[in-house]
Amino acid sequence: MGLVKFLAKRIVAIVVTISLVVGVGYVLIYISPGTFYSAANMGQGLSQLQVSDPALYNQYLNSLNSRYGLNQPLIEQVGKYVWHSLTFNFGTSFENPSIPIIHQLAQAVPISSILAFGAIALAVVLGVPLGVLAALKRNTWLDSALTTLSMVGQAIPSFVLAVLLVLFFGVWFPGILPVNGWGTVGEAVLPIVALSAGNVAAVTRYTRGSMVEALRQDYVRTAEAKGVPWRRVVLRHALRNSLVAVVTVIGPTFAFTIISTLWVEQIFTIPGLGTLLAQAFPNKDVPMAITSIYVLCLLVMGMNLLVDLLYRVLDPRVKLQ
């Protein structure tokens, strides 16, 4: 019952948060200057029509506003988008009215998810061993070197590293790895590396700190006094308790990573969620922009829920509330 109650409360919280995010996002787009008709490709044609035949221009503009519900009061428009988001009724975008948004998301979201989860997985695979190594060799040159590299890794934004990788593998040493496109394993390597660098640094630092603290605990000294092999003490006792702190950083790290994919996808010309957002906001494509915000929010909150559940797996003493 504890797990069911916890999940029910979290689902309610997710629904409320997503509703607020979609509502605020729509209001911000609504009050921003310009419209889809002036920002998109059709803006030039409508401008010519406005000059040549103002009456026909107003008639056509009213029909478009009526079709997309833009002539309704703001509160009704917000309520409509919130309800459509919660019921997964995304409709069609202004830019591509012949293709349902759900079909565009079906192609873009898996790509962005692969990049984000790949970056997190690489951060865990590399960061945890490096953090353990730094903790075991604390106050040595190796510890100092790993700590310094972690600080440098966290200081470099993912989009800056992406540009450097494109310069390195696209200009200086071309042909080793592809620097644009999507569809092969090789084309995913550089984007994931660009996204994971800061994550590796964060996981390394958190693992080191929690491992140093765990190695000072009484249960570690007790295990050593009983003759438990040192490797078992480190892996089974100290590391397992340290992973609770590491899992803590994965939630916000994933949030930053999923946002960073928006810029990295543009640099590597990857047709993910970032590409949809980059096209939707400048063109004031409200349905696509709101849906993209909704998907990003859902991914982040879903990952946070998964992290909370992992607490319970790693430490049975943790109670879900």
Average pLDDT for 253-268 = 81
Can you list the domains of the chain with their CATH numbers? 2-86 (no CATH), 101-280 (1.10.3720.10)
Average pLDDT for 290-306 = 83
Average pLDDT for 222-250 = 74
What confidence tens digit (pLDDT) does each residue in 66-123 have? Answer: 777 777 888 888 888 888 888 888 888 877 777 888 888 888 888 888 888 899 899 8
pTM of the model: 0.77
Position 3 pLDDT exceeds 80:
no
Output 229 or 81, whichever has higher pLDDT: 81
Average pLDDT for 178-183 = 82
- From residue 311, give the alpha-carbon distance in Å to each of 93, 202, 204, 307: 40, 19, 19, 7
Position 261 pLDDT exceeds 60:
yes
For residue 17, count CB atoms less than 10 angstroms from its CB and return exposed for 0-12, middle for 13-18, buried for 19 or more.
middle
- Quick check: 281 and 39 in contact, CB under 8 A? no
Close Cβ partners of 19 (under 8 Å, ≥ 6 residues apart): 82, 85, 86
Altogether, the residues listed in the chain come to a count of 321
Output 56 or 291, whichever has higher pLDDT: 291
Collapsing DSSP states into helix, strand and coil, what is residue 79? Answer: helix
What confidence tens digit (pLDDT) does each residue in 194-208 have? Answer: 988 888 888 888 888
Query: How many CA atoms are closer than 13 Å to the CA of 160, on its beta-carbon side?
Result: 8
Output 218 or 162, whichever has higher pLDDT: 162
Q: How far is CA 235 from the centre of its chain?
A: 30
